Structure 1
Amino acid sequence: MKRRVLYITGILSGISTALLTIFGFLLTSKMMFLKTKKFELIMRREILSKRFDEQWYETVHKDDMWIDSPNGYRLKAVFLKPLQTTRTVIICHGVTENKISSMKYARLFERLGFNSVVYDHRRHGDSGGKTTSFGYYEKIDLQAIVQAVRKRIGKRALLGIHGESMGAATTILYAGTYEDEADFLVVDCPFSDFTEQLLHVLRTETPLRSAMILRIGNLFLKMRDGYSTNLVSPREVVKNITIPMLFIHSMEDDFILPYMSKELYEAKVGDKMLKLFPKGAHAKSFNDNPQQYEQIVQHFLARFGFSQ
């Protein structure tokens, strides 16, 4: 009888282990290989919405840049130079998007007197890289982008970074982790902590509710991609950032909740501004409030001495 119980227990334990392994593998695969939007879809969307001007892009002075990432692949960037100036902004797009999504911000900053560098995150667009890490490896890539741009524009040139969604979180992780070479940051709808963000997504989009799910996922994520979600926390590093920051979010955002930008704003020491738009879904603050968005960026630049 005792042997039979042990035998059954062993079978059940083996089944449980197998199921947990399958679940952990599927969960981390979903994260690491999140499906990105096709180039044609993004291009068509931006043209139809009049956020991307094909004629302008064809005629504007620009340089293609291939930048080596310390992570072992190449990053594709485009240095847009519509103006005779060294004032430059690096623009970081959100997850599943690509550099075409950043063109609307390039035009905004052009109107405010800046050239811009748009680029594809790892595993997005034309850049290399096998996985998406939601800021963990992307922050290292951004450091490489910043260093390459600094070499081109000079140490004394004004340099800003604009990030949207995952690009905003990446911007904070970069600036709060490394010796910052930028002069100001604009972060639009960042998450403050990736673990909390994942729990929110799980609880709103799936039947899964327990934090234990993420503990299982993290075991596999560490083995498969070398990090865990607790290492992707802008909230933990934003206090290290000393340069001026503008935080932007929309109150209608139900994907990355606006309290996360409030939390980051409160944790940031020194010069800062916060703008919460009443209208706009996730990553659509500019789309739904274009004039007001430009005005708040212009006000931020003027307030901290970055206007022309």
Structure 2
Amino acid sequence: MRKRSIAALSAAAGISAFGVYLSNKIMFMKLKDPSEIEEREREAGFYDPDKYLKLIKKEVRIPSPSGYDIHTVFLEQMAGAPYMIFCHGVTETKINSLKYVRLFMEKGFNAVIYDHRRHGDSGGKSTSYGHFEKIDLKAVVDCLIEEEGESAVFGIHGESMGAVTTLLYAGSIEDRAAFYIADCPFSDLTEQLSFLMTKSQRSALLSKMALSLAGSFIFLRDRYMIRGVSPKEAVGHIKKPVLFIHSRHDSFIPSHMTEILYELKQGPKRLFLPEEGGHAQSYAANPEAYSKEVDRFLEDYFYAR
């Protein structure tokens, strides 16, 4: 009897340790070194430190409802112009958004960039792939409206996890922006994690069991269900226009996930699936085509309002 009890306790301890390990891998995905991000973007021609310093900007630390500060930068080139809010991807920082800032500033927009929780200069202990991040995005939106007034006009652009955050915000909190651009989002976090686990040589059955265990521990530790992080459940509630973008040969988040989201979105929408580029590289690999697709979208659904 005692041996069975010891064996049961050992098994429970082993399962708990494995659950903590798996949930750690998801909640605390290793972040890129901010200095390496800056160097990468500088070498690609997307970030010029001298030009960035010369931009008219205002740094704000916005209190998150989750209990930390969100480091945000307002970039204004023209008073009264519409704004674009940019949401970067997982492991990145707001510096990664500057390529898109330049693109939209050339089209007459002001900009807001910020670091997601646990990234860059923002607080927060864990990454939730859009669950808590969507609440932070609302806090950024509220700050913009407080700064610019209730008549403020803005769009939101998100890349990867930032695109998921954008869609969850618009489809489950408030559809307040004039339009949204979702670049390479996943359609469902459970399906995305299952895809990555299976891809890493684990069997589908083992991946399903590991994911179930990880999900249970994430709920215990971070108080949310990973199955609730599902843009495909939110996108049908978005009334405003959405431009969906995804490189066809993305090996990290498969492009069919964006095609699913596009089909589920009702009302005004566009889809751009460039052949060139890997994950979150649609703009870098296709800058002219990307810009033209954004122009077509804005002409159809923003300038013609």
Asked if these proteins are the same fold (TM beyond 0.5), I'd say: yes
Asked whether the 8 Å contact 2:247–2:278 carries over to 1, the reply is yes
Q: Gapped runs of 5+ residues in structure 1?
A: 1-5
CA contact (8 A) 2:158 2:165 kept: yes
Helix, strand or coil: the match of 1:243?
Answer: coil
Change (3 A) 1:206 1:12: farther
Give the drift of 1:164: 0.2
Report the AA paired with residue 153 of structure 2.
L
Q: CA deviation at 1:83?
A: 2.7
Give, in whole Å, the separation in 1 of the partners of 2:161 and 2:279.
11
Provide the residue aligned with 1:90 in structure 2: 85
Q: Is this contact kept in 2: 1:298–1:307, CA < 8 A?
A: no
Ranges in structure 2 where 5+ consecutive residues have no aligned partner: none
Could you tell me how far 1:19 is from its partner in structure 2?
A: 1.6
Q: CA deviation at 1:33?
A: 1.3
Q: TM-score, normalised by structure 1?
A: 0.95
Larger of the two Rg values belongs to structure: 1
Residue in structure 2 matched with residue 168 of structure 1 by the alignment: 163
1:89 partner amino acid: M
2:107 match = 112
- Of residues 285-294 and 204-213 in structure 1, the stretch that sits farther from structure 2 once superposed is 204-213
Once the two structures are TM-superposed, the CA of residue 136 in structure 1 deviates from its matched residue by 0.6
Residue 82 of structure 1: CA displacement? Answer: 2.1
Match of 1:286 among 283, 286, 304: 283
State the number of aligned residues: 303
CA distance in structure 2 between the aligned counterparts of 1:138 and 1:178, rounded to whole angstroms: 12
In structure 1, the partner of 2:189 is 194
| Aligned counterpart, 1:20 | 15
Farther off after superposition, 167-176 or 206-215: 206-215
2:229 paired with 1:232:
yes
Runs of 4+ aligned residues of structure 1 deviating over 6 Å after TM superposition are none
> CA-to-partner distance for each residue in 1:93-141, whole Å, 9 max, x for gaps?
0000000000000000001110100000000000011111111100000
Shift of 1:179: 2.4
* Aligned mates of 1:206, 1:12 — CA distance in 2: 30
Contact 2:168 2:231 in 1 (8 A): yes
Aligned twin of 2:142: 147
Match of 2:176 in 1: 181
Name the structure 2 match of 1:302: 299
Aligned-pair identity in percent equals 45
1:50 Cα shift?
Answer: 0.4
2:34 aligns with 39
Which letter maps to 2:296?
Answer: H
Aligned residues: CA RMSD: 1.4
